[in-house]
């Protein structure tokens, strides 16, 4: 237990004794390294002023990921390259194309959000493919600007690759890969802070299993997109902390003929690509989950295991019949995902157990799936209400249907009454009206700052109606922003 | 390029579209904000302990555990204040920095902890034991109206007999509109760094739009003359009005800590505390009662405006005034009465926010325009055009100022044509007829915004320019830089006047030690008044140099001319010598010519008499108009802004790049105010939307894909700085077109014959409820009465009004 981590800060190797295992990367940069270019705007991963980029070894190349340094903990840097805004310009007079484009397009006014935007643009600069408005919106959804109205920044995003197609980071890639490889090969790290807080960062899943067994009270931290706020907003003392980010087995996705097996450590960003063909609506939902920075870190296991009633992935997963694999030491048990959520803040996770994977059935052409998320702001907002519908029609009637809502109860909850009112009935407006009445028996939503109970209830009923119209024969438009499903054949 | 060679044009003069002076520093992270200043040795960090009740008597405050906590250096309460426990900007005496006895809002500061680290200060503050005797709390405008709880006397503007005109009109409508507040959400939270100086003086780096007022507040709290306090700010990470008055309390606490401990002290807010503890845009209730003729021309109108001032006066008086000054927007209101109530509530004291009441006032009249249009079955644009101020007639405002320049008719006509309003109106009608669930809406709304502080004496500014012997220039003025590009604009003015390249001018931090007794950088006035003050200073220096050169080269002063980068001696065509600017400066210095000058400006010809509610409060008006198109989902209330076209008047732009940035940024900020930005307080008075996870300002994808901006070809008819016009606030109100377009889409569900019952902000929830309501109203065939929205005023309002 050396308690040390090794990473590159820009091109410089750092080996750091972890004195505070939940020190944020932002505080490390600002207070320890005196790099004050990176700003704190919200300390909860919502404004993006703190955005930095982590470069990691892919197979042979580097992957650049924008992350929120305000909620990432220092140990998450182990083995990676950390780039902050100070690293980009090669000199005072030679700006990086992302920076140069921001200057040319008048992309900064007060400038406080600007370093974060520059880092998101830098990550986008290194992402393959053509940059259209949609991709730019996705890349910047996690960066709030209060001054410009975004137009000049969007222009800068479009402009930067005209200034140069590559940068000195591309030129130095081989060198950086070598330097990162030289950091690897260390055993899984662990340490104890001077104040007694313990932390572990296992590499093998067997080691993780034993650690969870030994410390059933430990906080399991994967992407820290929720756990980060326990520290920055709730000021909780986490002890011990087990970091899951180094466990490669947890980050696997296996696409089989019947099932997609999703490791608990798979990020939203990666899953989005994998499921896009089978479930475009689910992929679109994941695209709207948090921001690029959040999706780069947040994991499917975390989204489920924290038991939030407004987590975005459980309703579609439940509607699609997903199952959960829980592991305790070497033993595994598999349950229907819906059975995992017992009550508010209470899940069927036994001491010593952890979520290992999610098993998602592949698309069955006999079923039609859609999901809808309602929030005050379209991108990067937390769900007010989320409906997921999975319908099997036979001979014009409802052979089977699974409906699950988030934001409508203390847990992600199936609409059993509604389902019962629909199954075996013709798929008609009359049936839908009965289903809407049944929804009122299924849920008694609450009022909070995101929506009133009345709105939640009404919107839920209307979402069923919307699903009906999208699965019926008519071709009426039903979506303001996201892609219109392609009529009745949409699966 | 060799700057000594003769050239036609300087780099960076007036009217050039050049980048923000700090752009390169912004993108590299070099630009220093106050929290980025390297921590001085011995720095103590501050954290505030706050009240957990909205209205209560503080019966006990036990801070023993706080004082004993690790790392604590000092604990400050009202008893530690050597001067006066008040930072009220208007001398109302109602803005204590620490609570003394009566808690007036949830989040009010009870005490502050100074500790060795931020974490230890925060941890210690949580150990306080506070006991309360709860008192009834007024949390909304309605509650305050009902209770007759006001911060300030009512104010009324009137002309003629509105009530009689309304009674006699062929058409009459009444209704109520609720308009939500708005958090500034500057990305950089409030922050002050106080450094103790000799003699017990203090130097404060403060993120503020109003250094002089911070200086005043700090001096008041410390019980010292103002010359003992120096306030400095290089830049803010956004202000928008939120750092005008409301920076003073935090600066005063930091200064007090610095003086008490003898150590530098920093008070930096976390986001949640910032949102809970600082004031916001005022939410309003507006009642209207309007009479109109058969074409839709307004014959008489009464407005009741009630705003939530919160727990103290702050700037509520001037804000409520400006809402009244903009109750007309661009329309002539012949017989008119506008009554304003300034409500006291047990919530944080609301404050300045871009537009300063103007946006709320305009929302009232724009709703009236739509209401009349729906009643008459006409396009709202037709009603708007019909009611515009005239040229030479129908041109007196409700406060009796003549609208001397009115460019709205031609602005609207040009925009209507450029944006193909009529064609799109037809296309939308066709779309809506075919689309059962998604509905499109379209609206064109104008803006006429009065420029000047309506408190007339604030319209003054100072500047200070030094020229060093190498010809480099040091520029300073009372305006502050919050991202709006003021510093570069003022520097462009000086560059233009002295005909030097912009990079010869060093832009420096605003400091009360350099230019005293300044006004806030507010009311869109920054470049107008500071630009003129800097111009005056530059002219003084230029005249000295001309006099010197005329003497030195034995020519009449008229034969000394400033050309780009050089001074020409001799009449045009007979130039005897050209001297590079730095060379002339060196010569002037050797000849003992003063190379430092101040400049001063006071806006001419403005006044307002409150007793008669009349005068000429505004030097001029800035104009604009916007067309917005939206797509609304009638099943969920979600929507998308599809296209925006803007034509806006900035006079002869000082810097078109900066001005376009202000227009777009202001528009999107206004759009946020009217759509996704919703402030929610619970029944105990606790703000539930106190971070970006719960308070939603527009994100990148909310910016319409099709967004077209054009600057109106115009020159300010007043001799404002180089014939430009102010631009900071007016464009925000162009976003009323988004709200009106959403309302238009909803109105389509009832054949455009009913006014949707839509309040602001138009969240998806409010939109869906308005959709349901209009469907129900149509089904109930209440068309002729418009009852659900246009019922008589609630009893509470009648009582409040009868209490006048």
* Per-residue pLDDT tens over the stretch A400-434: 999 999 999 999 999 999 999 999 999 999 999 99
What residues of chain B lie within 8 A of the CB of A160, using their CB? none
Active site residues of B: 729
Compute the average pLDDT of residues B75-96. Answer: 97
Q: Report the predicted TM-score, pTM, of the whole model to 2 decimal places.
A: 0.96
pLDDT exceeds 60 at position B799: no
Look at residue B803 in the predicted model and tell me its pLDDT.
32
| Closest B-chain CA to A42 | B271
Look at residue B236 in the predicted model and tell me its pLDDT.
98
Return the residue in A47, A89, A112 with the most chain B beta carbons within 10 A, the one to mutate for interface testing. A112
DSSP secondary structure string for all residues of B202-233: EEEEE--S-HHHHHHHHHHHHT--GGGEEEEE
Task: Tell me B241's DSSP state.
Answer: T
**Contact criterion met (CB < 8 Å) for B768 and A455:** yes
Residues near B161 by beta carbon (within 8 Å), at least 6 away in sequence: B300, B335
| Closest A-chain CA to B687 | A449
pLDDT tens by residue, A196-211:
999 999 999 999 999 9
Q: State the smallest CA–CA distance between residue B245 and chain A in angstroms.
A: 19
Percent of chain B with pLDDT over 70: 96
| Closest A-chain CA to B434 | A476
* Confidence category of residue B783, pLDDT binned at 50, 70, 90: very low
What residues of chain A lie within 8 A of the CB of B639, using their CB? 480
What residues of chain A lie within 8 A of the CB of B186, using their CB? 110, 112, 146
**Contact criterion met (CB < 8 Å) for B27 and A114:** yes
Compute the average pLDDT of residues B268-291. Answer: 98
Q: State the smallest CA–CA distance between residue B62 and chain A in angstroms.
A: 23
Compute the average pLDDT of residues A81-95. Answer: 94
Q: Which region among A305-314, B272-281, B315-324 has the lowest average model confidence (pLDDT)?
A: A305-314
**Contact criterion met (CB < 8 Å) for A147 and B238:** yes
Q: State the smallest CA–CA distance between residue B28 and chain A in angstroms.
A: 6
Look at residue B582 in the predicted model and tell me its pLDDT.
98
Average pLDDT of every residue of chain A: 94
Q: State the smallest CA–CA distance between residue A330 and chain B in angstroms.
A: 39
Q: State the smallest CA–CA distance between residue A466 and chain B in angstroms.
A: 7
pLDDT exceeds 50 at position B804: no
Compute the average pLDDT of residues A281-303. Answer: 96
**Contact criterion met (CB < 8 Å) for A84 and B29:** yes
pLDDT tens by residue, A101-133:
999 999 999 999 999 999 999 999 999 989 999
Structure tokens at A43: 């300390």
What residues of chain A lie within 8 A of the CB of B275, using their CB? none
**Contact criterion met (CB < 8 Å) for B699 and A148:** no
pLDDT tens by residue, B132-155:
999 999 999 999 999 999 999 999
Look at residue B6 in the predicted model and tell me its pLDDT.
59
Look at residue A175 in the predicted model and tell me its pLDDT.
95
Size of interface A-B (CB pairs under 8 A): 264
What residues of chain A lie within 8 A of the CB of B702, using their CB? 150, 377-379
Q: Which of A44, A112, A478 sits opposite B187 (nearest CB)?
A: A112
Residues near B616 by beta carbon (within 8 Å), at least 6 away in sequence: B401, B402, B605, B606, B607, B608
Q: State the smallest CA–CA distance between residue A14 and chain B in angstroms.
A: 21
Where does B345-503 have alpha helices with state H? 358-376, 380-387, 408-418, 421-434, 486-498
**Contact criterion met (CB < 8 Å) for B36 and A36:** yes
* Confidence category of residue A487, pLDDT binned at 50, 70, 90: very low
Q: State the smallest CA–CA distance between residue B506 and chain A in angstroms.
A: 18
Q: Which residues pair with B62 in a beta bridge?
A: B129
pLDDT exceeds 80 at position A153: yes
Q: Which of B236, B436, B765 sits opposite A452 (nearest CB)?
A: B765
What residues of chain A lie within 8 A of the CB of B207, using their CB? none
Q: Which of B237, B632, B705 sits opposite A112 (nearest CB)?
A: B237
CA dist B263 and B252 (Å) reads 15
**Contact criterion met (CB < 8 Å) for B640 and A481:** yes
Q: Which region among A15-19, B285-289, B646-650, B771-775 has the lowest average model confidence (pLDDT)?
A: A15-19
Q: Which residue has the tokens 């798929």?
A: A427
CA dist A131 and A143 (Å) reads 17
pLDDT exceeds 60 at position B795: no
Structure tokens at B146: 């009902």
Compute the average pLDDT of residues B628-652. Answer: 98
pLDDT exceeds 70 at position A13: yes
Q: Which of B27, B239, B689 sits opposite A95 (nearest CB)?
A: B27
What residues of chain A lie within 8 A of the CB of B769, using their CB? 454-455, 458
Compute the average pLDDT of residues A274-287. Answer: 96
* Confidence category of residue A3, pLDDT binned at 50, 70, 90: confident
Q: What is the DSSP pairing of strand B284-292 with strand A4-9? A: unpaired
Q: Which of B29, B638, B657 sits opposite A374 (nearest CB)?
A: B638
Q: Which of A108, A233, A476 sits opposite B436 (nearest CB)?
A: A476
pLDDT exceeds 90 at position B781: no
CA dist B515 and B536 (Å) reads 14
**Contact criterion met (CB < 8 Å) for A153 and B27:** no
pLDDT tens by residue, B213-247:
999 999 999 999 999 999 999 999 999 999 999 99
Look at residue A115 in the predicted model and tell me its pLDDT.
98
pLDDT exceeds 70 at position A273: yes
What residues of chain A lie within 8 A of the CB of B764, using their CB? 374-376, 384, 455, 459
pLDDT exceeds 50 at position A470: yes
Look at residue A483 in the predicted model and tell me its pLDDT.
54
What residues of chain A lie within 8 A of the CB of B710, using their CB? none
pLDDT exceeds 60 at position B786: no
**Contact criterion met (CB < 8 Å) for A233 and B23:** no
* Confidence category of residue B544, pLDDT binned at 50, 70, 90: very high
* Confidence category of residue A491, pLDDT binned at 50, 70, 90: very low
| Closest A-chain CA to B270 | A42
- What does the H/E/C string look like for chain A? CCCEEEEEECCEEEEEECCCCCCEHHHHHHHHCCCCCCCCCCCCCCCCCCEEEEEEECCCCEEEEEEECCCCEHHHHCCCEEECHHHCCCCCCCCCHHHHHHHHCCCCCCCCCHHHHHHHHHHHHCCCCCCCHHHHHHHHCCCCCCCCCCHHHHHHHHHHHHHCCCCHHHHCHHHHHHHHHHHCCCCCEEEECCCCCEEEECCCHHHHHHHHHHCCCCEEECCCCCHHHHHHCCCCCCCCEEECCCCHHHHCEEECCCEEEEECCCEHHHHHHHHCCCCHHHHHHHHCCCCHHHHCCCEHHHHHHCCCCCCCCHHHHHHCCCEEEEEECCEEEEEEHHHHEEECCEECCCCCEEEEEEEEECCCCCEEEEEEEECCCCCCCCCCEEEEEEEEEECCEEEEEEEEEECCCCCCEECHHHHHHHCCCECCHHHHHHHHHHHHHHCCCCCCCCCCHHHHHHHHHHHHHHHHHHHCCCCCCCCCCCCCCCHHHCC
* Residue of B373, B371, B374, B368 whose CA lies nearest to B383: B373
Look at residue B605 in the predicted model and tell me its pLDDT.
94
Look at residue B800 in the predicted model and tell me its pLDDT.
34
**Contact criterion met (CB < 8 Å) for A109 and B661:** yes
CA dist A342 and A305 (Å) reads 12
pLDDT exceeds 70 at position B258: yes
pLDDT tens by residue, B10-60:
999 999 999 999 999 999 999 999 999 999 999 999 999 999 999 999 999
pLDDT tens by residue, B479-496:
999 999 999 999 999 999
**Contact criterion met (CB < 8 Å) for B29 and A480:** no
């Amino acid at each position: 237990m050396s308690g040390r981590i090794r990473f590159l800060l820009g091109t410089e190797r750092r080996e750091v004794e972890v004195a505070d295992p939940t020190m944020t990367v932002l505080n490390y940069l600002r207070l320890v390294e005196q790099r004050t270019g990176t700003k704190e705007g919200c300390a909860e991963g919502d404004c993006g002023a703190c955005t930095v980029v982590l470069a990691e070894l892919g197979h042979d190349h580097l992957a650049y990921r924008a992350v929120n340094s305000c909620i990432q903990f220092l140990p998450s840097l182990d083995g990676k390259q950390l780039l902050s805004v100070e690293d980009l310009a090669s000199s005072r007079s030679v700006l990086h194309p992302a920076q140069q484009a921001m200057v040319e397009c008048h992309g900064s006014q007060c400038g406080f959000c600007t370093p974060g935007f520059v880092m998101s643009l830098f990550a986008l600069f290194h992402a393959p493919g053509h940059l259209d408005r949609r991709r730019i919106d996705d890349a910047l959804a996690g960066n709030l600007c209060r001054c410009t109205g975004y137009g000049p920044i969007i222009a800068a995003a479009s402009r930067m690759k005209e200034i140069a197609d590559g940068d000195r980071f591309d030129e130095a890639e081989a060198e950086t890969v070598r330097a990162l490889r030289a950091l690897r090969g260390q055993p899984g790290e662990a340490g104890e802070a001077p104040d007694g807080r313990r932390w572990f960062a296992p590499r093998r899943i067997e080691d993780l299993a034993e650690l969870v067994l030994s410390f059933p009270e430990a906080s399991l931290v994967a992407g820290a997109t929720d756990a980060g706020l326990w520290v920055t907003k709730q000021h909780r003392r986490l002890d011990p902390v087990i970091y899951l980010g180094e466990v490669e087995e947890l980050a696997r996705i296996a696409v089989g003929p019947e099932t997609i097996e999703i490791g608990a450590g798979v990020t939203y960003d990666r899953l989005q690509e994998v499921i896009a063909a089978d479930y475009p609506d689910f992929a679109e939902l994941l695209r709207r989950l948090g921001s690029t920075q959040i999706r780069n870190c947040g994991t499917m296991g975390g989204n489920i295991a924290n038991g939030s009633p407004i987590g975005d992935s459980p309703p579609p997963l439940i509607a699609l019949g997903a199952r959960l694999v829980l592991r305790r030491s070497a033993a595994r048990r598999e349950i229907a995902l819906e059975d995992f959520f017992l009550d508010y803040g209470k899940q069927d996770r036994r001491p010593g157990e952890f979520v290992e994977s999610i098993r998602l059935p592949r698309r069955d052409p006999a079923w039609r799936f859609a999901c809808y998320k309602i929030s005050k702001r379209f991108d990067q907002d937390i769900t007010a209400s989320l409906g997921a519908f999975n319908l099997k029609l036979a001979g014009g009637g409802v052979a089977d249907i699974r409906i699950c809502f988030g934001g409508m109860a203390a847990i992600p909850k199936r609409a059993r009454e509604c389902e019962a009112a629909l199954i075996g009935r013709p798929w008609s407006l009359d049936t839908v009206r009965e289903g809407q009445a049944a929804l009122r028996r299924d849920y008694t939503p609450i009022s909070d700052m995101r929506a009133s109970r009345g709105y939640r209830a009404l919107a839920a009923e209307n979402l069923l109606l919307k699903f009906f119209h999208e699965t019926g024969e008519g071709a009426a438009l039903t979506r303001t922003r996201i892609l219109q499903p392609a009529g009745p054949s949409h699966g | 390029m060799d700057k000594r060679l003769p050239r036609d044009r300087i780099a960076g003069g007036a009217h050039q579209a050049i980048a923000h002076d700090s752009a390169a520093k912004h993108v590299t992270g070099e630009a220093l904000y106050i929290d980025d200043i390297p921590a001085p040795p011995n720095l103590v960090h501050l954290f505030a302990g706050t009240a957990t009740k909205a209205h209560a008597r503080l019966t006990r405050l036990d801070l023993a555990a706080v004082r004993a906590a690790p790392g604590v250096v000092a604990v400050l309460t009202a008893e530690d204040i050597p001067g006066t426990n008040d930072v009220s900007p208007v001398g109302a005496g109602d803005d204590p920095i620490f609570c003394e006895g009566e808690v007036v809002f949830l989040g009010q500061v009870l005490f502050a902890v100074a500790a060795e680290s931020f974490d230890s200060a925060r941890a210690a503050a949580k150990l306080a034991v506070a006991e309360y005797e709860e008192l009834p709390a007024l949390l909304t405008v309605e509650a305050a109206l009902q209770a007759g709880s006001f911060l300030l006397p009512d104010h009324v503007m009137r002309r003629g007999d509105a009530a009689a005109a309304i009674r006699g009109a062929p058409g009459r409508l009444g209704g109520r509109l609720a308009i939500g507040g708005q958090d500034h959400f500057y990305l950089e939270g409030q922050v002050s760094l106080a450094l103790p100086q000799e003699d017990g003086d203090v130097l404060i780096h403060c993120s503020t739009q109003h250094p002089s007022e911070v200086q005043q507040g700090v001096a008041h709290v410390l019980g010292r003359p103002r010359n003992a306090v120096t306030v400095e700010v290089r830049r803010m990470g956004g202000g928008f009005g939120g750092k005008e008055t409301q920076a003073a309390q935090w600066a005063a606490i930091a200064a007090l800590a610095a003086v008490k401990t003898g150590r530098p002290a920093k008070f930096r807010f976390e986001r949640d505390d910032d949102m809970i503890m600082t004031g916001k845009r005022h939410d309003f209730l507006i009642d209207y009662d309007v009479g109109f003729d058969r074409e839709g021309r307004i014959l008489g109108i009464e407005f009741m405006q009630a705003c939530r001032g919160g727990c103290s006066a702050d700037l509520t008086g001037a804000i409520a005034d400006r809402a009244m000054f903009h109750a007309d927007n661009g329309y002539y209101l012949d017989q008119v009465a506008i009554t304003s109530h300034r409500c006291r509530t047990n919530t944080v004291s609301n404050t300045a926010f871009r537009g300063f009441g103007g946006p709320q006032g305009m929302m009232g009249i724009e709703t009236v325009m739509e209401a009349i249009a729906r009643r008459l079955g006409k396009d709202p644009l037709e009603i708007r055009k019909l009611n515009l101020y005239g040229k030479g007639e129908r041109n007196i405002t409700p406060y009796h100022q003549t609208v001397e320049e009115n460019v709205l008719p031609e602005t609207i006509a040009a925009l209507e044509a450029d944006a193909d309003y009529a064609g799109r109106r037809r296309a939308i009608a066709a779309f809506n007829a075919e689309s059962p669930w998604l509905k499109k809406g379209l609206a064109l709304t104008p803006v006429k915004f009065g420029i000047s502080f309506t408190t007339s004496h604030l319209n003054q500014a100072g500047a200070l320019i030094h020229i060093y012997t190498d010809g480099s220039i040091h520029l300073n003025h009372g305006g502050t830089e919050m991202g709006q590009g003021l510093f570069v604009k003022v520097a462009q003015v000086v560059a233009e006047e002295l005909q030097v390249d912009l990079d010869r001018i060093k832009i420096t931090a605003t400091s009360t030690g350099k230019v005293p007794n300044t006004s806030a950088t507010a009311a869109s006035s920054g470049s107008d008044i500071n630009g003129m003050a800097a111009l005056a200073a530059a002219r003084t220096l230029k005249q000295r140099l001309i006099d010197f050169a005329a003497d030195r080269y034995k020519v009449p002063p008229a034969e000394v001319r400033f050309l780009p980068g050089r001074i020409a001696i001799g009449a045009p065509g007979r130039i005897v010598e050209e001297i590079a600017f730095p060379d002339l400066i060196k010569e002037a210095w050797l000849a003992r010519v003063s190379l430092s000058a101040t400049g001063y400006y006071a806006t001419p010809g403005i006044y307002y008499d409150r007793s008669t509610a009349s005068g000429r409060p505004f030097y001029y008006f800035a104009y604009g108009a916007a067309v917005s198109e939206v797509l609304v989902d009638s099943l969920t209330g979600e929507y998308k802004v599809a296209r925006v076209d803007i034509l806006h008047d900035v006079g002869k732009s000082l810097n078109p790049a900066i001005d376009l940035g202000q227009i777009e940024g202001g528009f999107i900020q206004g759009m946020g105010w009217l759509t996704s930005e919703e402030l929610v307080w619970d029944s105990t008075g606790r703000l539930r939307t106190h971070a970006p996870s719960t308070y939603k300002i527009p994100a990148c994808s909310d910016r319409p894909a099709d967004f077209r901006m054009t600057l109106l070809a115009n020159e300010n008819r007043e001799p404002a700085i180089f014939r430009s016009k102010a631009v900071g606030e007016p464009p925000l109100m162009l976003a009323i077109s988004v709200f009106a377009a959403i309302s238009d889409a909803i109105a389509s569900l009832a054949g455009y014959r009913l006014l949707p019952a839509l309040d602001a902000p138009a969240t998806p929830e409010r939109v869906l409820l308005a959709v349901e309501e209009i469907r129900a109203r149509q089904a109930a065939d209440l068309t002729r009465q418009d009852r659900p929205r246009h019922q008589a005023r609630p009893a509470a309002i009648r009582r409040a009004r009868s209490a006048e």
